[in-house]
Amino acid sequence: MSRILDISPVIGPGVGVWPGDTPLTWEWAGRRSRGDVANVGRLGLSPHTGAHVDAPLHLADDGADVAALPLEVFWGPARVVEWPGGRAIDAAALAGRRWEGVLRALFRTRGAGEPLAYRAGYPALTPDGAAYLAGRGVRLVGVDTPSVDPFESPDLPAHRALLGAGVAILECLELGAVSPGDYELVALPLRLAGADATPVRAALRPLA
């Protein structure tokens, strides 16, 4: 069996979140050491914590929630694409690569051990880049950055272009230790009714 590559960041105390978003909290509601029957935790977090899926509801009041997303989009062949740091993911740059048969594109912009940074300067998708990928049949776009849009973006045009074209979005992946190439991706969204996003446990398995 091929080795499974975990591409989800560890979620724990101090995990980064988008500025102003809900920080992660964890406490014990029940502890055996206090006489309770079992250890039971209590978790509080933004659904955009760690590796996560954005649903259409994130930007449209009448958009689908994560519980309505089709699972097959998040399970299947994917291509990991190494992308130069700081360079926009636009149509002109994308046109220089081969996209035949690519249904899921994951962009690797950080090296191994390079932390995810919630600040300006990371490579982001442009609206024409989103339209380019959607027009070539890509059904899912994943990034190892905080957002498919620039950090300073006021209206998230790449989100709107992708979600409007029916393309799923995965953000905050850990791809630094993954070589460019073709893999099987599994990143299933939780079935959270009414939620605009959900954390996922994302993994890759190399394809022969």
CA-based torsion, 76, 96, 91, 107: positive or negative:
positive
What's the Cα-to-Cα distance from 87 to each of 65, 122, 123, 163, rounded to whole Å? 31, 8, 5, 22
* Active-site pick, 48, 52, 58, 159: 58
pLDDT at 112: 86
8 A C-beta contact, residue 121 and residue 142: no
**Strands 168-171 and 140-143, how do they pair?**
parallel
Number of domains in the chain: 1
Q: Which pLDDT score, from 0 to 100, does residue 100 have?
A: 95
Antiparallel, parallel or unpaired: β 181-186 and 203-206: antiparallel
Please tell me the distance from the alpha carbon of residue 103 to that of residue 136, in angstroms, as a whole number.
9
* Rounded Cα distance, 206 and 208, in Å: 7
Residues 31-53: what's their mean pLDDT? 97
Give per-residue pLDDT as tens, 169-186.
Answer: 999 999 999 999 999 999
62-93 pLDDT, tens digit per residue, is: 999 999 999 999 999 999 999 987 789 999 99
CATH number at residue 97: 3.50.30.50
- The parent domain of residue 125 ranges over 5-206
Is 58 annotated in the active site?
A: yes
